């Protein structure tokens, strides 16, 4: 990062992405499980710009790897501060016996 706090997109867009994710985490309201101010702010701006820059200089498969690595690092560092994972609404317990093997009476 630059001394004044601005990210160095030219030197390392992947580092810029990591910094943007960290900034987005600071804008997260864990009680409401939503970003503050509907996500508007510097975090979203940096995320958008970092991703745009990554796609300008790398192929999509390289960007995919860089983003996966940044997200993995982000999860390790911030998951406990973002709140527990939300349970999927459409989650239903699996049947003990598959439907096609049950005998019908």
Q: What is the pLDDT of residue 94?
A: 57
User: Is the pLDDT reported for residue 3 higher than 70?
Assistant: no
Spatial contact of 35 and 27, defined as CB atoms under 8 Å apart: yes
Q: What is the pLDDT of residue 67?
A: 92
Compute the average pLDDT of residues 12-33: 83
Query: How confident is residue 1, by pLDDT bands cut at 50, 70 and 90?
Result: very low
Mean pLDDT lowest among 64-73, 77-86, 89-98: 89-98
Compute the average pLDDT of residues 77-84: 75
Instruction: Report the DSSP beta bridge partners of residue 34.
Output: 29
Nearest to 70 by CA among 25, 1, 24, 15: 15
The domain limits of the chain are: 13-84
Query: How confident is residue 80, by pLDDT bands cut at 50, 70 and 90?
Result: confident
Each as own residue / partner, the long-range contacts of residues 73-81 (CB below 8 Å, 24 or more positions apart, any chain) are 73/18, 74/18, 74/21, 74/22, 74/25, 77/22, 78/21, 78/22, 78/25, 81/25, 81/28, 81/30
């Amino acid at each position: 990062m630059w001394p004044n706090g601005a990210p160095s997109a030219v030197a390392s867009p992947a580092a810029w992405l990591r910094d943007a994710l960290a900034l987005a985490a600071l804008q997260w309201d864990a009680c409401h499980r939503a970003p503050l101010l509907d996500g508007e702010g510097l975090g979203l701006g940096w995320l958008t710009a970092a991703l745009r820059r990554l796609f300008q200089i790398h192929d999509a498969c390289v960007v995919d790897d860089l983003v996966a690595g940044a997200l993995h690092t982000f999860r390790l560092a911030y998951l406990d501060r973002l709140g527990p994972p939300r349970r999927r609404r459409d989650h239903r317990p699996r049947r003990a016996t598959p439907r096609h093997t049950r005998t019908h009476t």
